[in-house]
């Protein structure tokens, strides 16, 4: 009754209405501010409402593939006498950029590299083969390319690319696939297949059997392809992946382990994954071991002390390199793994094709894993700094496992070919020709798509929406 006297029903309603709108307005503004700003410290209220977004911070995928690495350390025994090589061992210096290792050599050199292909194949086998209709009964969305391999040649059937970055990623991925099949020891044995690949970070249609750059544990029907960066990426201080690797080795000659800074470095954009990346910045704030700072690409004269731009190889000057996922996986991980440094990563949610080889414990430990909120970052760093011999061992294992084995061009090409062969086992045989109506009820045979060699000669417009349907 008292309430009633103080504010009438309509007043009350209006008050609720206005404060409701104000609250919603405040929330929206806070979230917009929190996810977009590059301000290094946020008010507590804004931090509270910051959405985790795509980063479901409770989830991660940890692999234990120690057995893979164990057999990787032994020479391959090729049992079949028909094989010229009784025993053959992968040698980084000799074979690292050999895109044409044969199937036995690939299997011997890179155990554990084909785990996700096997997983995807087994998942599909339980659900029936992929039909042509499965690949044609949906519209291609941003970043997708429908393509075919026939008689060892790569054909582009359809593209849906929306901007130049999209186009570059797609062309780089196709180029890498083309390189892998061109280099095959037995090119006629390459399977005839049709597939749809996407170069978007996030799977737009995760329930479809698509080829993607990364997946979460629940995206079981996605097939992983190597990141386009193995071919090359058009950014300052990058380039072809093996070029960056060579740079890292060159740097290491001048700056061996003992000459590195005993600090943890990280550079990145906060607004790609605000909650996750801000947690890293917060956890490192004010620590003597920290050189963690955000990068503002648009701000060339970056004014915050100590947070100037660092290229991927510049990060090799530090003993410890932090890694954080972005909108989905972060392509930066593979560059960080080129350094003889200790990679300190939160538990990863996004799986890339070679992630099964990441090992967070044991004698072959090749990186250091912390929680997704970085709550144990400080104690982890204290432990690493107190045990330099352990840190050195992890950094050496990082180089041995990744730079000198699983991140080589040889491994990338082996992976692409294994993907093609496995996809063939669970999908249809495409035909090179299709029947098209030719005016007066006549049908004729027409070759499908365009060869990769021709496609790369096309101009921008023709590449981003191929084929262009006549208006
Ligand atoms: C030897 O060759 C046969 C047939 O070519 C094949 O089935 C078998 O798996 C091979 N063995 C090994 C160990 O590679
Ligand atoms: C593929 O197509 C078959 C029928 O042709 C259908 O039963 C199946 O659900 C489809 N699979 C996917 C992943 O779309």
Cβ atoms of residues 197 and 186 within 8 Å: no
- Identify whether 249 is part of a domain: yes
Cβ atoms of residues 362 and 340 within 8 Å: no
pLDDT number for residue 231: 98
Are 222 and 242 in the same domain?
no
Q: Which residue reads 């041995």 in tokens? A: 400
Q: Rounded mean pLDDT of 18-42?
A: 73
pLDDT number for residue 46: 64
Q: Which residue reads 């392809």 in tokens? A: 225
Are 127 and 244 in the same domain?
no
- Identify whether 132 is part of a domain: yes
pLDDT tens digits along 431-448:
999 998 877 777 889 999
Q: Rounded mean pLDDT of 412-431?
A: 97
pLDDT tens digits along 87-96:
889 999 999 9
Are 347 and 425 in the same domain?
no
Q: Please, which pLDDT band fits residue 223 given cuts at 50, 70 and 90?
A: very high
Q: How far is CA 275 from the centre of its chain?
A: 20
- Does position 74 have pLDDT exceeding 60, yes or no? no
Cβ atoms of residues 213 and 225 within 8 Å: yes
Q: Which residue reads 């079981």 in tokens? A: 220
What pTM, to 2 d.p., does this model score? 0.84
- Does position 389 have pLDDT exceeding 90, yes or no? yes
CA 72 to ligand 1 centroid distance, Å:
20
Last residue of a domain, one of 405, 424, 446: 405
pLDDT number for residue 301: 43
Tell me how far apart the alpha carbons of residues 128 and 320 are, in angstroms, rounded to a whole number: 46
- Identify whether 58 is part of a domain: no
- Does position 114 have pLDDT exceeding 90, yes or no? yes
Question: Which ligand has the shortest distance to the CA of 123?
Answer: 2
- Does position 103 have pLDDT exceeding 50, yes or no? yes
Tell me how far apart the alpha carbons of residues 170 and 143 are, in angstroms, rounded to a whole number: 7
Q: Which of residues 266 and 270 earns the better pLDDT score?
A: 266
- Identify whether 107 is part of a domain: no
Pocket test for ligand 2, best of 131, 139, 203 (most atoms within 8 A of CB): 131
Among 140-154, 209-223, 269-283, 336-350, whose mean pLDDT is lowest? 269-283
Among 6-10, 108-112, 232-236, 337-341, whose mean pLDDT is lowest? 6-10
- Does position 412 have pLDDT exceeding 80, yes or no? yes
- Count of domains for the chain: 2
Q: Which of residues 364 and 28 earns the better pLDDT score?
A: 364
Are 277 and 324 in the same domain?
yes
pLDDT tens digits along 172-196:
999 999 999 999 999 999 999 999 9
Neighbours of 71 (CB within 10 A): 12
Cis peptide upstream of residue 382 (ω within 30 degrees of 0): no
Are 328 and 190 in the same domain?
no
- Does position 309 have pLDDT exceeding 50, yes or no? yes
Are 155 and 278 in the same domain?
no
- Identify whether 84 is part of a domain: no
Q: Please, which pLDDT band fits residue 298 given cuts at 50, 70 and 90?
A: very low
Q: Which residue segment(s) compose the domain that 289 sits in?
A: 235-351+355-405
Are 273 and 316 in the same domain?
yes
Residues lining ligand 2, Cβ inside 6 A = 131, 133-134, 208-209
Tell which atom from ligand 2 comes closest to the C-alpha of 134.
Answer: 1
Question: Which ligand has the shortest distance to the CA of 130?
Answer: 2
Are 301 and 212 in the same domain?
no
- Identify whether 22 is part of a domain: no
Q: Where are the beta strands (DSSP E) in 204-254?
A: 211-212, 223-224
Share of the chain above pLDDT 90, in %: 69
- Identify whether 422 is part of a domain: yes
Tell which atom from ligand 2 comes closest to the C-alpha of 207.
Answer: 13
Question: Which ligand has the shortest distance to the CA of 205?
Answer: 2
Tell me how far apart the alpha carbons of residues 122 and 427 are, in angstroms, rounded to a whole number: 13
Are 161 and 303 in the same domain?
no
Q: Taking the alpha carbons of 103, 365, 367, 214 in that order, is the dihedral positive or negative?
A: positive
Q: Please, which pLDDT band fits residue 48 given cuts at 50, 70 and 90?
A: low
- Does position 3 have pLDDT exceeding 60, yes or no? no
Q: Which protein residue's CA is at the shortest distance from atom 10 of ligand 2?
A: 134
Among 78-92, 216-230, 395-409, whose mean pLDDT is lowest? 78-92
pLDDT number for residue 22: 84
Q: Please, which pLDDT band fits residue 133 given cuts at 50, 70 and 90?
A: very high
CA 449 to ligand 2 centroid distance, Å:
24
- Does position 168 have pLDDT exceeding 90, yes or no? yes
Are 394 and 426 in the same domain?
no
Are 401 and 300 in the same domain?
yes
pLDDT number for residue 62: 59
pLDDT number for residue 368: 97
- Identify whether 38 is part of a domain: no
- Does position 4 have pLDDT exceeding 70, yes or no? no
Q: Taking the alpha carbons of 408, 412, 415, 417 in that order, is the dihedral positive or negative?
A: negative
Over the chain, what is the mean pLDDT?
87
| CATH number of domain containing 241 | 3.40.50.2000
Are 391 and 430 in the same domain?
no
């Amino acid at each position: 009754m008292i309430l009633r006297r103080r504010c009438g029903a309509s007043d009350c309603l209006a008050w609720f209405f206005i404060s409701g709108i104000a609250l919603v307005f405040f929330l929206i503004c806070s979230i917009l501010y929190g996810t977009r700003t590059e301000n290094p410290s946020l008010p507590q209220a804004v931090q509270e409402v910051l959405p985790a977004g795509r980063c479901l911070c409770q989830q991660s995928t940890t692999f234990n593939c120690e057995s893979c690495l164990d057999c990787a350390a032994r020479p391959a025994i090729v049992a079949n006498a028909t094989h010229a090589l009784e025993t053959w061992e992968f040698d980084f210096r000799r074979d690292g950029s050999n895109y044409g290792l044969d199937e036995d050599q690939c299997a011997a050199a890179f155990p554990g590299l084909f785990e996700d292909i096997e997983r995807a194949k087994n998942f599909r086998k339980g659900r029936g083969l992929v039909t042509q209709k499965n690949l044609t009964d949906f519209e291609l969305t941003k970043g997708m390319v429908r393509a075919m391999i026939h008689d060892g040649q790569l054909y582009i059937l359809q593209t849906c690319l929306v901007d130049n970055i999209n186009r570059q990623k797609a062309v780089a991925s196709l180029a890498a696939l083309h390189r892998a099949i061109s280099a095959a020891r037995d090119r006629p044995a390459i399977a005839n297949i049709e597939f749809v690949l996407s170069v978007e970070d996030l799977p737009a249609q995760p329930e479809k059997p698509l080829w993607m750059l990364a997946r979460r544990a629940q995206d079981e029907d996605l097939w992983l392809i190597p990141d386009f960066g193995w071919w090359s990426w058009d950014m300052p201080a990058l380039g072809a992946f093996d070029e960056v690797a060579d740079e890292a080795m060159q740097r290491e000659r001048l700056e061996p382990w003992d000459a590195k800074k005993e600090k943890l470095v990280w550079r990145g954009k906060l607004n790609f994954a605000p909650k996750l990346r801000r947690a890293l910045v917060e956890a490192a704030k004010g620590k003597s071991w920290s050189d963690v700072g955000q990068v503002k690409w648009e701000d060339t004269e970056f004014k915050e002390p100590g947070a100037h731009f660092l290229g991927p190889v510049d990060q090799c000057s530090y003993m410890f390199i932090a890694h954080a996922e972005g909108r989905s996986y972060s392509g930066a991980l593979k560059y960080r793994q080129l350094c003889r440094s200790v990679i300190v990563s939160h538990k990863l949610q996004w799986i890339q094709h070679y992630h099964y080889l990441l090992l967070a414990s044991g004698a072959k430990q090749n990186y250091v894993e912390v929680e997704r909120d970085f709550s144990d970052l400080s104690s982890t760093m204290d432990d690493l700094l107190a045990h330099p011999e352990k840190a050195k061992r992890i950094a050496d294992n990082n180089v041995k496992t990744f730079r000198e084995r699983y991140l080589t061009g040889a491994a990338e090409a082996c992976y692409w070919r294994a993907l093609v062969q496995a996809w063939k086992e669970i999908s249809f045989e495409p035909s090179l020709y299709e029947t098209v109506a030719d005016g007066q009820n006549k049908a004729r045979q027409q070759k499908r798509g365009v060869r990769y060699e021709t496609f790369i000669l096309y101009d921008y417009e023709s590449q981003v929406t191929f084929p262009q349907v006549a208006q």
